[in-house]
Amino acid sequence: MKKLHIEGTRYSPRIELDPETRTLLIEGDSYPENAVDVYGPLITALDEYFEQPNTPLNIKMLSFFQNTSSSKMITDMLAKLQRFFDQGHPVELTWFYPSDDLEIKDTFELFLEDASFPYSITQLEE
């Protein structure tokens, strides 16, 4: 499949799903009016990405702020990744939080509460 590249905007993150480097990057604040428009294409692309068995994916989240519409789409995305992990695909995730806001760390921990794939919530080195 081709690389999925979604441009970031003032209110939506840059999204890059690269089948060659086996990486997914989500970078930037997320508060679009309708997060389905932003994350929908990614969630669809993940189905194609994981078509072959045992496809690894390394995810980096560099998004500190989400409105509820985005949080819902991210929750759905994480649930989907969990299902792919359960099917045997090596999925791992790193979510960075800023050093000036530890409340965010709690938020990310909530998102990942049910995840059994390897993940880390890491402070971003400035």
Whether 7 and 38 have beta carbons less than 8 Å apart is answered as no
Work out the burial of residue 61: count CB atoms within 10 Å of its CB; fewer than 13 is exposed, 13-18 middle, 19 or more buried.
Answer: buried
CB of 37 to another protein, least distance (A): 7
CB of 9 to another protein, least distance (A): 9
Q: Which one, 55 or 107, has the nearer CB to another protein? A: 107
Whether 59 and 90 have beta carbons less than 8 Å apart is answered as no
Residues of the shown chain interacting with another protein in the complex, contacts defined by CB under 8 A: 10-11, 31-37, 64-65, 67-69, 71-73, 75-76, 79, 98, 100-104, 110, 113
Q: Which one, 59 or 73, has the nearer CB to another protein? A: 73
25: DSSP letter: E
